[in-house]
Amino acid sequence: MSNISSSQIFTWIERYAAQIAEQKDYLTQLDAAIGDGDHGANMHRGLQAILVKKADLQNTDIGALLKGVAMTLISTVGGASGALYGTFFLQASTLAGGKTELSPREFGSLLEKGLAGIVLRGKAAVGDKTMIDALQPGIKAYKDSIESGETMEQALSKAVSAADVGLSSTTPLIARKGRASYLGERSAGHPDPGASSTVLLFRSAAETLC
């Protein structure tokens, strides 16, 4: 399997920015039902701010690139989303310092490191109706696929499918974390906005990193 270059990592973020731009109104509608109603708009603002820094970020190693993504999200995205996605990329960056390429296994380790950071910060688990419901199974599917010798394309395809199943699982759940938890049983019947944007993160990776 071929390695992932720093330019591919930025292309992944670019594609994610495009996916969020396409879906920002839908994500905001989802958030309006159980949250502050700003998830799509906030994520769009943060990712567009990253694109403005393209020239600088493209000329760095992967660790610095991901740290730049993280700090931009933390400083420009309001609410919990900026802190959580920022934490994800910031933690991932710690495993990529000085590296201009990543093996598929190393990429899986970055994802897992980012997940651990979010869990530590948000104290959420699968079943709490958060982005973890899509992120954790997506990463597990990716790592299991790579460990079994499958291609990067197969691994990312399985990650997207697993994250999508995780997203679907959030619809009947009663939220136990975040703003949605204030609604109690009224939070059931709606997919989680963070899990929805997480599926787009995996989908963007599948479209750019293979």
Alpha-carbon gap, residue 155 to 180, rounded angstroms: 32
Residue 165: Cβ-neighbour burial (10 angstroms; 0-12, 13-18, 19+): middle
pLDDT recorded at residue 186: 65
Other Cβ atoms within 10 Å of 22 Cβ, number: 12
pLDDT recorded at residue 122: 85
Q: Identify the CATH number of the domain in which residue 173 sits.
A: 1.25.40.340
Alpha-carbon gap, residue 106 to 166, rounded angstroms: 24
Instruction: Give the N- to C-terminal CA distance of the chain in Å, as an integer.
Output: 9
Q: Which regions of 66-179 does DSSP assign to beta strands (E)?
A: 101-102
**Tokens (6 digits) for 56:** 């600088």
Give how far the C-alpha of residue 174 lies from the chain's centroid of Cα atoms, to the nearest Å. 22
Based on DSSP, count helices (H) and strands (E) in the chain, helices before strands. 9, 2
Alpha-carbon gap, residue 82 to 136, rounded angstroms: 19
CA quadruple 21, 26, 30, 32: dihedral, nearest 10: 80
Question: By residue range, what is the domain housing residue 198?
Answer: 4-208
Q: What is the pLDDT along the chain (210 residues), one digit of tens a residue?
A: 689 999 999 999 999 999 999 999 999 999 888 778 899 999 999 999 999 999 999 889 999 999 999 999 999 997 788 999 999 999 999 999 999 999 999 999 999 999 999 999 988 899 889 999 999 999 999 999 999 999 999 999 999 999 999 999 999 877 776 666 656 676 687 899 999 999 999 999 999 998
pLDDT recorded at residue 173: 76
What total number of domains does the chain contain?
1
The b/e string for 37-58 (b: 16+ C-beta within 10 A; e otherwise) is ebbbbbbbbbbebbeeeeeebe
Give how far the C-alpha of residue 8 lies from the chain's centroid of Cα atoms, to the nearest Å. 16
Beta bridge partners of residue 5, listed in sequence order: 101
Alpha-carbon gap, residue 125 to 88, rounded angstroms: 15
Beta bridge partners of residue 4, listed in sequence order: 102
